[in-house]
Amino acid sequence: MTGTVQGVGFRPFIYRLAKAHGLSGYVKNLGNHVEVLIEGERADIQNFLIDLPEKKPPLARIKEIKVKTITFSGFQEFIIVHSEPGIFENSIIPPDTAICEECRLEIFDPSSRYYHYPFTVCTNCGPRYTTVRTLPYDRENTTMADFPLCEQCEVEYTDPLNRRYHAQPVCCSKCGPEIWLSDSKGKLIAKNYGAIVKASELLEQGSILSVKGFGGFHIACNARKDGSVKELRRRLARPEQPFAVMAKNMEVVESFAEPGDAGRKCLMSVRRPITVLPKSKNFSLAESVSPGLHNIGVMLPYTGTQNLLFDLAPDSVYVMTSANLPGRPMVVENEEALEKLRGIVDFHLLHNRVIANRNDDTVIRVVNGQRAFIRRSRGFVPEPVELPFEVEAAAGVGAEMNSTITLVKGKLAYISQYIGNTSHVETFRYHNEVFEHLVRLTGIEPLNWGCDLHPSFNTTGFAMNRGGEKTLQVQHHYAHILALMADNSLPVDSRILGIALDGVGYGGDGTVWGGEFLGSSYFGYERLGHLLPQPMPGGDLAVKNPSRMVLGMLSGRLGEAELEELPLYFPRGKQEFSTVMQQLQKNINISMTSSTGRILDAAAALLDICKMRTYEGEPAMKLESAAKKSTQWVDLPLVFRKRGDPAVPVLDTTELLLGVYELSGGKYSSADLAFAVEEGLTKGISEIAISLARKNDFDRIGLSGGVAYNDHISSGIARYLKEAGFELLMHRHVQCGDGCISFGQSLVAGLGIDSERTR
């Protein structure tokens, strides 16, 4: 059997199943597969094979079962053979999962020896990846080696009929980790269950706490208290960035959000991701939790500690935001929390189990009726993605923002947890640590390397230094489309028209791309169309201040006096406005971009929906939320042009924004015009895609990039394409945003493609 069959109670399951059918033989773990030899009556063997996939442990995922008949050996009983060292290349370590119902009931059962013990686990639940130091996945190779088993736990751990057999994190209050509450300076306040009781009281009173979990620290406060949330924002210097919240159960969630069937399924899965849900009409949380947005990130408890906290305050909802600065790694060590969170939290709920691998919460949104990963981490990593073809051992090192690492070999791709913004020294150091750890866990030593085209990215330098002449640079948006193709299991000879819509990516012509139509195969691409390149006055300053984009886009169509009357914002007032106008007139410090994200940003600024970007994606997210309130349909002009040599179709986004300007201040609200600009982009992009697909004989069209998280745009493109006879492919197992870039890069490297065709 191959698949996720290690660390999930698979061998004791096989043992019990064989015993139930009266069979003899053995089961042993060979790292990337489990081998079973069974002997007995033919009918019993057949029944065993029928029950095997149907009754497997809840965390096991069987990819393939190969069966062959051999000579009878005469085993007298069925036994479990222990792991052998040195055979664990391409092993599949299971991800961390939520506490199972059996363990959860035990921590609330006064007659159980696990009563009120927050680290209660079994083979069906709990931390896995965040505890692993090296392979094989045995207790001595995890952070649980620091806690020798007591006599009672040893009995359960060594009994194949017990659900805790070889559950590496198994422990109890006698032999396992301890939990305690301290003040902001580390002074002990309470221990064990008393610490959880006191922490719950403090949260109810409005205090701000750090809470150590599986893969890092959360910062928590009461999401129903506006004062607490605003104080947390002040301390973190995050004036607008939305916070994720945690509630005890679905009943509480439905008091402030609308999960729908797909959202409910995500929330209640054993992986327990943060799921972005629409706010309900009777939204009962502090408005400052998710200001200016129509939706909110929600998760259910997944650790014993979290379940115990909510048992004491069942109707409470807590902010649970990652303990890190934006783009930086999560805090994982106790001393680190005391130092870095000084002045931010009032109290710390700590434990003494070491976190071997920091792992942030996974974030999912339902887009076009399907699950879309915004961040793929806890609960999914390091579970591999299966490839539709075989590749050589290779690495993809990611771009800069929302970075991940991917190692591939054979038909498996291992995509790391979310890493962050590698332009920061601390995050880049973490990037390198993740790479080394992933190599140790998978046994994959890359022969080839894939990286971004951008020469200034730290990740590019990392790949160049490690891979040398074996390093292939891959254009950013082509990496998006390759990841999309493999994510949809398209075979190696496939062709696709890829639509890549995002904020920024270094283009093959040296400009900034972000609204691209790429005719793609696994062996190269052609840029067949794009959005009209627009000036970005001040380069990256136009990303932070979308008012600059408005001036860049409209300066050729409106006079300076008209531009000065627009409801724009510049931190340095009129002086900055004049500086930007001079830059545009003299073509000084101007970058050109076809970015879709910058168009959405400009519309948000022009409509006075978002004046400054304080977190990634803020203007576009607030534009989408405003558009949800639209009550009138508005048609904006769609103008298509031909540009380049050879000439390709281009959507004139200046005309779209000019249309917004001409209709603003009249009978249409900003919400109506926000919807209109999204719909105009959606229709224009769809028309170009349909025309290109028909002209170039593409039968598949796919969408990737951060803009794909916008449900209006993605669902609209899917609708327009369906009306024209095409189905829109979207991501299924990996992120739409830049978290998938390393995956696409690794495919180029693994296939050994000529880099000239991927640049």
652-699 residue pLDDT tens: 999 999 999 999 988 999 999 999 999 999 999 999 999 999 999 999
Q: Is 29 a catalytic residue?
A: yes
* Residue 286 clears pLDDT 70, i.e. is over it: yes
* Residue 301 clears pLDDT 90, i.e. is over it: yes
In tens, the pLDDT along 80-123 reads: 887 665 555 556 678 999 999 999 999 999 999 999 999 999 99
Strand partners, 414: 407
Residue ending a domain, among 51, 81, 111, is 81
Q: Are residues 220 and 247 in the same domain?
A: yes
In tens, the pLDDT along 480-522 reads: 999 999 999 999 999 999 999 999 999 999 899 999 999 999 9
d(CA 273, CA 378): 8
Q: Are residues 320 and 391 in the same domain?
A: no
Strand partners, 321: 219
Q: Are residues 237 and 215 in the same domain?
A: yes
Positions of E strands within 479-584: 495-506, 512-521, 524-531, 534-537
Segment 46-56 mean pLDDT: 93
CB 671 within 8 A of CB 712: no
CB 438 within 8 A of CB 430: no
Q: Are residues 183 and 330 in the same domain?
A: yes
* Residue 643 clears pLDDT 60, i.e. is over it: yes
Taken in order 17, 20, 25, 26, is the CA torsion positive or negative? positive
Per DSSP, 116 falls in state T
Residue 170 in domain: no
Q: Are residues 248 and 271 in the same domain?
A: yes
Q: Are residues 574 and 685 in the same domain?
A: yes
In tens, the pLDDT along 219-248 reads: 999 999 999 999 999 999 999 999 999 999
d(CA 88, CA 542): 49
In tens, the pLDDT along 540-592 reads: 999 999 999 999 999 999 999 999 999 999 999 999 999 999 999 999 999 99
Segment 312-325 mean pLDDT: 93
In tens, the pLDDT along 383-423 reads: 999 999 999 999 999 999 999 999 999 999 999 999 999 99
Determine the structural domain holding residue 442 and report its residue range: 384-488+735-757
Catalytic residue among 11, 271, 365, 527: 11
d(CA 747, CA 520): 13
What per-residue confidence (pLDDT) applies to 91?
A: 60
Confidence of residue 303 (pLDDT cuts 50, 70, 90): very high
Give the 3-state secondary structure of residue 32. Answer: coil
What per-residue confidence (pLDDT) applies to 328?
A: 83
Residue 715, burial from CB neighbour count under 10 angstroms (0-12, 13-18, 19+): middle
Q: Are residues 335 and 250 in the same domain?
A: yes
d(CA 98, CA 303): 6
* Residue 313 clears pLDDT 90, i.e. is over it: yes
Residue 258 in domain: yes
What per-residue confidence (pLDDT) applies to 324?
A: 87
Residue 556 in domain: yes
At 711, which amino acid appears?
D
Strands ordered across the beta sheet of 78-81:
34-39, 24-29, 78-81
Q: Are residues 446 and 532 in the same domain?
A: no
Q: List the end-to-end C-alpha distance of the chain, in Å, as a whole number.
A: 40
Segment 187-212 mean pLDDT: 98
d(CA 319, CA 321): 6
How far is residue 276 from each of residues 218, 257, 432, 738, measured CA to CA in Å?
18, 9, 30, 18
Q: Are residues 741 and 648 in the same domain?
A: no
What per-residue confidence (pLDDT) applies to 84?
A: 63
In tens, the pLDDT along 605-626 reads: 999 999 999 999 999 999 999 9
Confidence of residue 31 (pLDDT cuts 50, 70, 90): low
Residue 139 in domain: no
Residue 283 in domain: yes
Q: The CATH number of the domain where 697 resides is what?
A: 3.30.420.40
Residue ending a domain, among 364, 394, 422, is 364
What does the mean pLDDT of the chain come to? 94
Residue 370 in domain: no
In tens, the pLDDT along 440-461 reads: 888 899 999 999 999 999 999 9
Residue 138 in domain: no
Residue 124 in domain: no
Q: Are residues 341 and 426 in the same domain?
A: no
* Residue 6 clears pLDDT 80, i.e. is over it: no
Q: The CATH number of the domain where 50 resides is what?
A: 3.30.70.100
In tens, the pLDDT along 707-738 reads: 999 999 999 999 999 999 999 999 999 999 99
- Indicate the number of domains in the chain: 4
What per-residue confidence (pLDDT) applies to 90?
A: 54
Confidence of residue 10 (pLDDT cuts 50, 70, 90): confident
Q: The CATH number of the domain where 476 resides is what?
A: 3.30.420.360
Q: Is 11 a catalytic residue?
A: yes
In tens, the pLDDT along 154-165 reads: 999 999 889 999
Segment 58-83 mean pLDDT: 87
Q: Are residues 337 and 408 in the same domain?
A: no
Q: Are residues 739 and 715 in the same domain?
A: no
Catalytic residue among 29, 324, 545, 710: 29
What per-residue confidence (pLDDT) applies to 755?
A: 64
Residue 722, burial from CB neighbour count under 10 angstroms (0-12, 13-18, 19+): exposed
Residue ending a domain, among 364, 392, 416, is 364
